[in-house]
Chain A
């Protein structure tokens, strides 16, 4: 069997390793889109502020890992796929035959159509090479404009802050991390950053980027408010879109991302998709969505690989969740953090202490949560949401006092009625085979 995997992020690498586990004899080719060993984009901020070196961003630390696993690793871009002939063409012209193909090509950053966005010193922060460029331009004291205060922008913000840059954040939305947390949490993050000396300009758009004045910083960033901000570096973090351009004409249906069924198979025969490029099912809504996060990429990679190898494994949905460190203020959100359509909310708010916890219930099940300034045992929120435990009497207790989460978890998740093999099943990809789907909790 010949397997080809396009994309060497967490989804692609996990898929390659899973295929090797279940099919020791197979030919496995993993194609990375950048001339680097497989690495983690998530680790780039830590590389930027010097916590790790380049090697620390690698998904697998041993350089011989892929050789040892007999996984052939190539780098290059795919130019197109002939799904009938089961052949893919690299942009250099060479062809690669496959029996089963996984597309795990991730996403690309969006460069907004702003005049001057092509100028030197305007960077995205997406690839290892982007990070190297940012390292050169983001010196101690350098004026930097960060465009976008979403999840990715906010992670980059911390790295720039720790490099000692003089940061202005420009965000179109009314608050930071608007797609991860609510007004209260986003407001706390904004105030926290301001208190650390970062200018946070929400409801603001970048109108233009021009060359700076002679002798000053290289760029001048014109804002919708009319003011101009000098900058040595402009980092664009306004969003990403799935990397699927090469699929035009291939028969693989692409909506916002690649459409997949419950087995992560695309509309084309023997072609599967995983990770940020595809629309897997969101566990909270039961609908296809792009959940572009590391744990989902790994889940997808493993499940897609099992299906490619003929071990039917249904993807029952992934839980959306994020954790963010904004210059030391740590926040997280899970599932339907915006709340259920008909539900109840328990809140703990300490504006001055930068602490916030909000729990969202639908019936007596926890369906979503947000935390700011609270990190201990937050994984329990994932556990409760993903397993759909009925909270029973604990719902009212948590509505009144969300901080009693730990007691509630122990009582509900490890109590008698729901524990053991009869418990609601959590959906985890499982290394062992032959269990016919989900594993027990």
Chain B
């Protein structure tokens, strides 16, 4: 069974423990600037939205890499291989979701790889805004559900309530 990060932004308080946990897990330091999940802060609305790679099926980052340094594992996770990444940054502009970032201190790019199947962000989240669950739906079905949720949210809860399931091995 594929699993996915499921983000419920309505539960996010903006504590950024996910960012701290991600940075510690992956970079060995508490530096939220190097976190692969980021909490976007809507200043005027006191709203917070955790945001990271959806492991999308298109894999724009992977297609754009000139040296094959990004591959897809058996779970559908797009993984950057540090030994191959030259740091050209083309994937950072190719990813239309903006979820591949450059880490100047290593000269390589970083992106969410679901911590190899045990995401530190969801473990650290105290409110259940980020959970790691079975990805029940894949691809198009998931998109339809997401669109319906969003439309519903627009009607009943005001516009732009993000409620995106971020599944591995499936379409965005």
Which residues of A line the B interface, CB within 8 A?
Answer: 10, 40, 42-43, 46, 51-52, 56-61, 294-295, 298-299, 302, 321-323, 325, 328, 330, 332, 334, 375-383, 386-387, 406-407, 409-412, 414-417, 419-422, 426, 428-430, 439-441
User: B15 → chain A, closest Cβ, in Å?
Assistant: 18
Interface string of B80-91 (1 = CB under 8 A from A): 000010111110
Report B-chain residues with C-beta under 8 Å of the C-beta of A299.
Answer: 63
Are B89 and A375 within 8 A (Cβ)? yes
Which of B140, B148, B160, B171: most chain A Cβ within 10 A? B160
Report B-chain residues with C-beta under 8 Å of the C-beta of A43.
Answer: 66-67, 86, 88
Q: In the complex, what distance in Å separates the CA atom of A420 from the CA atom of B172? A: 9
Are B58 and A439 within 8 A (Cβ)? yes
Are B95 and A382 within 8 A (Cβ)? yes
Chain B, residue nearest A421 (CB):
B143
Task: Kindly list the 5 A-B residue pairs having the minimum CB-CB distance in the complex, ordered from nearest.
Answer: A420-B147, A383-B96, A416-B154, A377-B98, A380-B98
Are A57 and B63 within 8 A (Cβ)? no
Interface string of B153-167 (1 = CB under 8 A from A): 110000111101000
Chain B, residue nearest A420 (CB):
B147
Q: In the complex, what distance in Å separates the CA atom of A325 from the CA atom of B108? A: 12
Chain B, residue nearest A9 (CB):
B66
User: B39 → chain A, closest Cβ, in Å?
Assistant: 10
With A42-B66, A51-B107, A420-B144 given, is the CB distance from A379 to B90 under 8 Å?
no
User: B149 → chain A, closest Cβ, in Å?
Assistant: 9
Is B92 interfacial (CB-CB < 8 Å)? yes
Q: In the complex, what distance in Å separates the CA atom of A19 from the CA atom of B152? A: 42
Are B93 and A321 within 8 A (Cβ)? yes
Are B144 and A421 within 8 A (Cβ)? yes
Inter-chain contact total with CB atoms closer than 8 Å:
162
Are A440 and B171 within 8 A (Cβ)? yes
Are B98 and A407 within 8 A (Cβ)? no
Q: In the complex, what distance in Å separates the CA atom of A411 from the CA atom of B51? A: 12
Report B-chain residues with C-beta under 8 Å of the C-beta of A375.
Answer: 89, 92, 101-102, 104
Question: What would 17 A/B residue contacts be, using CB atoms closer than 8 Å?
Answer: A43-B67, A43-B88, A51-B87, A295-B90, A323-B93, A332-B89, A332-B93, A334-B93, A376-B101, A383-B97, A409-B98, A410-B40, A410-B42, A415-B159, A417-B159, A439-B58, A440-B171
Are A40 and B49 within 8 A (Cβ)? no
Are B100 and A379 within 8 A (Cβ)? yes
Is B30 interfacial (CB-CB < 8 Å)? no
Are B102 and A386 within 8 A (Cβ)? no
Are B87 and A330 within 8 A (Cβ)? no
User: A334 → chain B, closest Cβ, in Å?
Assistant: 7
Is B24 interfacial (CB-CB < 8 Å)? no
With A46-B86, A428-B60 given, is the CB distance from A441 to B92 under 8 Å?
no
Are B147 and A421 within 8 A (Cβ)? yes
Are B102 and A379 within 8 A (Cβ)? no
User: A406 → chain B, closest Cβ, in Å?
Assistant: 5
Is B124 interfacial (CB-CB < 8 Å)? no
Is B75 interfacial (CB-CB < 8 Å)? no
Report B-chain residues with C-beta under 8 Å of the C-beta of A430.
Answer: 58
Report A-chain residues with C-beta under 8 Å of the C-beta of B151.
Answer: 416
With A56-B67, A377-B101, A415-B154 given, is the CB distance from A51 to B86 under 8 Å?
yes
Are A440 and B64 within 8 A (Cβ)? no
Report B-chain residues with C-beta under 8 Å of the C-beta of A407.
Answer: 40-42
Are B160 and A416 within 8 A (Cβ)? yes
Report A-chain residues with C-beta under 8 Å of the C-beta of B58.
Answer: 428, 430, 439
Are B86 and A52 within 8 A (Cβ)? yes
Interface string of B45-66 (1 = CB under 8 A from A): 0000101000000101001101
User: B67 → chain A, closest Cβ, in Å?
Assistant: 5
Report A-chain residues with C-beta under 8 Å of the C-beta of B90.
Answer: 42, 294-295, 323
Report A-chain residues with C-beta under 8 Å of the C-beta of B93.
Answer: 321-323, 332, 334, 378-379, 381-382
One of B64, B84, B99, B159 near A295 (C-beta < 8 A)? B64
Report B-chain residues with C-beta under 8 Å of the C-beta of A420.
Answer: 143-144, 146-148, 150
Report B-chain residues with C-beta under 8 Å of the C-beta of A417.
Answer: 154, 159
Is B127 interfacial (CB-CB < 8 Å)? no
Chain A, residue nearest B63 (CB):
A298
Is B94 interfacial (CB-CB < 8 Å)? yes
Are B66 and A419 within 8 A (Cβ)? no
Is B137 interfacial (CB-CB < 8 Å)? no
Q: In the complex, what distance in Å separates the CA atom of A330 from the CA atom of B99? A: 17
Report A-chain residues with C-beta under 8 Å of the C-beta of B154.
Answer: 415-417
User: B117 → chain A, closest Cβ, in Å?
Assistant: 24
Report A-chain residues with C-beta under 8 Å of the C-beta of B95.
Answer: 379, 382-383
Chain A, residue nearest B90 (CB):
A294
Are B97 and A379 within 8 A (Cβ)? yes
User: A357 → chain B, closest Cβ, in Å?
Assistant: 14
With A56-B84, A426-B96 given, is the CB distance from A61 to B162 under 8 Å?
no
Is B68 interfacial (CB-CB < 8 Å)? yes
- Beta-carbon contacts under 8 Å, B121-144 to A: 140, 143-144
Are A61 and B66 within 8 A (Cβ)? no
Q: In the complex, what distance in Å separates the CA atom of A376 from the CA atom of B100? A: 8
Chain A, residue nearest B41 (CB):
A407
Q: In the complex, what distance in Å separates the CA atom of A441 from the CA atom of B161? A: 18
Report B-chain residues with C-beta under 8 Å of the C-beta of A426.
Answer: 96
Report A-chain residues with C-beta under 8 Å of the C-beta of B84.
Answer: 56, 61
User: B54 → chain A, closest Cβ, in Å?
Assistant: 10
